[in-house]
């Protein structure tokens, strides 16, 4: 080979290597961008970016699994299956992919193949075999139970739309629910709201049954005012309709609503006067880094059961658990975890307490797949028996938000099962055989439930969970010495709970039992975020003054440069006072940032 030929080959090899390196760099950057979008729960955007990665690297196990995860979170479990299968076949995925694949297969009703995935997961995790073996056993239960004659019949309500319709609640003889529908538009009530189209994520509607066909009629807006009327729900009313508990949410239409992370919910209570909500108060145990939601008020309005994914107090340290709080002398008591056998290492959500029994949904108790509806009997001191309500009311998909009127033998629930009109739909439920006997899931013998409510009554007890006994007070004031209610208190760095100051600007905490060097962070809209150093025993009260926040809200909109359509999930970064602030756009392409105005 002459010198010229050799040089040509060297140049060609160099160019090939350079192109390969450029392709690898491009793939890595795309993967990082996709992961960032996924972590921000922008699943549609992440799906497109992961697909770009797979065009360049078809056997990228991480991208394959994440495409499947995106489809699952977008309420398309069947579309996730082929992607999970490809990821698993590579034999290089995280073992959790095997678990998620099994759960998606259960939703399809393929219990045999799902069981195989769970057993393989158990074999891959010698130290944590329980989840794999548990769900493998559940597949056997589901296979058997799905063949039984249903006790309940579920009918899709005609008022459903292609958008998400969910969270039914009784308001005396009517039904309140949330919907992301946009076909019902509010009348403009002010100049500033004249172009408001009702296209918010979700809003509260009210309806009632048509006596002729028993279906719910076309709904109207529950609340007439334009302020803070979107992204509210689910709600729960007392039997007389004079007290309401509700949550504010970040549900996105088209995205699965129940997830271990990414759901931002906070609880509120209010009095109802002539249909208007007054004396709205934040639940004092809301947290800044965990969700509290899915409320259920007892008939007399003095007991509140709710779900939270507080990592420091849930069973197993993750997932959602059910809690109870009681209204004592006008204040909500410290919530207590309802514990086993009701709460589990999985997720327990959407409680409904009718004054006798507690209905809830779980993805851990033996069911048909996804979230299933259960009934718990309340004994004198504890929860005694738990019952799976069988097929009909339950499916292999997500079934939750169940409410039931035993006197009228009619109930409602939310489900994303096939046969509906949208992602989540409202389904009407009727018991076909009220005399049927259902065997409990656990082996606890039946017991009297005459004193059922005592299991949810206030108790004085000792616990190591968050929401624990608090002996000392953090006083928070403004610069004028006025107590500040509703200040978010992050005590986590000091190994203590998170919460909010009460109406008197007080936040109660348990003593720090050893010398510490940590920081308490205080935050409230309209005020500066304040950090307080703690370098001593915390067995005393603390007083802090919080200054007014001089920042202003800047609102923007991101659109596609070609189509001018709003871009959902676009990441917006801004440098403010030396700090990088990041957010993402909503479904209307809008974003909001709190920034320090420039001095002029």
For residue 538, the model assigns a pLDDT of 44
HEC profile of 232-256:
EEEEEECCCCCEEEEEECCCCCCCC
* Domains and their CATH numbers in the chain: 25-145 (1.25.40.10), 152-157+236-456 (2.120.10), 472-545 (2.60.40.1120), 552-595 (no CATH)
Comparing C-alpha atoms, which of 76, 75, 106 is closest to residue 372?
A: 106
Per the structure block, which two tokens stand in for 423? 């992602």
Query: Could you give the CA distance from residue 75 to residue 83 in angstroms, rounded to a whole number?
Result: 15
Q: Which DSSP state fits 559?
A: B
Neighbours of 432 (CB within 10 A): 12
* Distance between CA atoms of residues 542 and 537, nearest Å: 12
Helix (H, G, I), strand (E, B) or coil at 369: coil
Note whether 80 and 112 are within 8 A (CB).
no
Q: Give, for 389, the enclosing helix (H) or strand (E).
A: none
Tell me the C-alpha distance between 463 and 569, whole Å.
41
| Helices 111-124 + 130-145 axis angle, to 10 | 170
What pLDDT sits at residue 399? 96
pTM: 0.71
For residue 114, give the H/E element and its range. helix 111-124
Residue 186 makes CB contacts below 8 A (sequence gap 6+) with: 193, 196, 198, 221, 226
Residue-level pLDDT, tens digit, the chain, 600 residues: 555 555 555 555 555 554 544 455 567 888 888 888 888 778 888 899 999 989 988 889 899 999 999 999 888 889 999 999 999 988 665 778 999 999 999 999 999 999 999 999 998 887 677 889 999 999 999 999 999 989 899 999 999 999 889 999 999 999 999 988 888 877 644 333 333 333 447 789 999 999 888 999 999 988 775 555 667 889 999 999 999 999 887 667 667 767 656 677 889 999 999 888 999 999 999 887 788 999 999 999 999 999 998 876 655 557 899 999 998 888 898 888 888 888 988 999 999 999 889 999 999 999 999 999 999 987 666 677 889 999 999 999 999 999 999 888 999 999 999 998 878 999 999 988 755 556 566 533 333 322 334 455 543 322 333 444 445 677 787 766 777 888 888 877 777 767 778 777 887 776 665 556 678 888 887 777 888 776 544 445 666 666 665 666 677 888 877 777 787 778 888 776 666 777 777 767 787 776 666 654
Quote the pLDDT of residue 451.
31
With beta carbons less than 8 A apart as the criterion, state whether 202 and 179 touch.
Answer: yes
pLDDT of residue 403: 97
For residue 597, the SS3 value is: coil
| Strand 472-477 versus strand 542-545 pairing type | parallel
């Amino acid at each position: 080979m002459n010198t010229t030929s050799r040089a040509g080959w060297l140049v060609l090899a160099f160019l090939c290597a350079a192109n390969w390196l450029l392709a690898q760099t491009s793939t890595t950057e795309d993967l990082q961008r996709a992961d960032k979008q996924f972590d921000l729960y922008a699943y549609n955007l992440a799906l497109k970016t992961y697909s770009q990665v797979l065009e360049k690297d078809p056997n990228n196990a991480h991208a394959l699994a994440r495409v499947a995860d995106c489809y699952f979170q977008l309420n398309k479990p069947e579309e996730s299956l082929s992607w999970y299968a490809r990821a698993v076949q590579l034999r290089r995925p995280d073992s959790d992919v095997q678990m998620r694949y099994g759960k998606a297969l259960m939703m399809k009703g393929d219990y045999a193949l799902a069981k195989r995935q769970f057993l393989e997961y158990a074999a891959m995790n010698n130290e944590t075999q329980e989840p794999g073996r548990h769900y493998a056993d559940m597949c056997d239960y589901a296979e058997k139970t799905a063949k039984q004659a249903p006790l309940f019949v579920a009918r899709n309500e005609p008022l459903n739309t292609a958008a998400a319709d969910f969270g039914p609640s009784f308001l005396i003889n009517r039904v309140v629910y949330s919907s992301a529908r946009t076909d019902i538009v509010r009348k403009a009530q002010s100049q500033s709201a004249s172009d408001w189209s009702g296209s918010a994520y979700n809003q509260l509607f009210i309806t009632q049954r048509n006596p002729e066909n028993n279906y719910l009629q076309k709904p109207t807006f529950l609340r007439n005012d334009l302020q803070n009327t979107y992204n509210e729900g689910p709600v729960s009313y007392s039997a007389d309709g004079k007290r309401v508990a509700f949550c504010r949410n970040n549900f996105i239409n088209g995205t699965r609503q129940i997830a271990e992370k990414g759901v931002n919910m906070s609880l509120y209570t209010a009095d109802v006067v002539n249909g208007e909500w007054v004396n709205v108060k934040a639940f004092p145990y809301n947290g800044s880094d965990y969700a509290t939601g899915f409320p259920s008020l007892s008939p007399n309005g003095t007991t509140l059961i709710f779900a939270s994914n507080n990592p420091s107090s849930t069973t197993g340290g993750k997932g959602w658990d059910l809690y109870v709080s009681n209204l004592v002398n006008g204040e909500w008591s410290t919530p207590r975890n309802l514990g086993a056998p009701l709460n589990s290492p999985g997720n327990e959500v959407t409680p409904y307490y009718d004054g006798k029994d507690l209905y809830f949904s779980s993805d851990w108790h033996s069911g048909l797949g996804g979230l299933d509806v259960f009934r718990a009997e309340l004994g004198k001191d504890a929860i005694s028996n738990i019952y799976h309500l069988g097929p009909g009311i339950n499916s292999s998909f997500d079934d939750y938000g169940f409410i039931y009127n035993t006197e009228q033998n009619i109930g409602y629930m939310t489900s994303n099962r096939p046969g509906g009109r949208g992602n989540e739909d409202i389904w009407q439920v009727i018991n076909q055989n009220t005399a049927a006997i259902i065997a409990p899931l656990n082996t606890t013998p039946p017991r009297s439930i005459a004193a059922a409510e005592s299991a949810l009554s206030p108790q004085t007890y000792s616990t190591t969970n968050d929401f624990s006994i608090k002996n000392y007070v953090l006083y928070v004031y403004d610069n004028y010495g006025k107590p500040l209610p509703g200040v978010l208190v992050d005590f986590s760095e000091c190994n203590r709970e998170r919460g909010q100051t009460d109406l008197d600007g007080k936040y109660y905490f348990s003593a720090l039992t050893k010398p510490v060097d940590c920081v308490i962070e205080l935050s409230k809209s309209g005020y500066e975020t304040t950090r307080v150093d703690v370098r001593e025993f915390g067995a005393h009260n603390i007083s802090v003054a919080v200054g007014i926040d001089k920042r202003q809200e800047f609102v923007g909109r991101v659109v596609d440069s070609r189509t001018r359509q709003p871009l959902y999930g676009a990441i917006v970064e801004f440098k403010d006072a030396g700090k990088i602030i990041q957010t993402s756009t909503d479904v209307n392409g809008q974003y909001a940032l709190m920034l320090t105005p420039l001095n002029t």
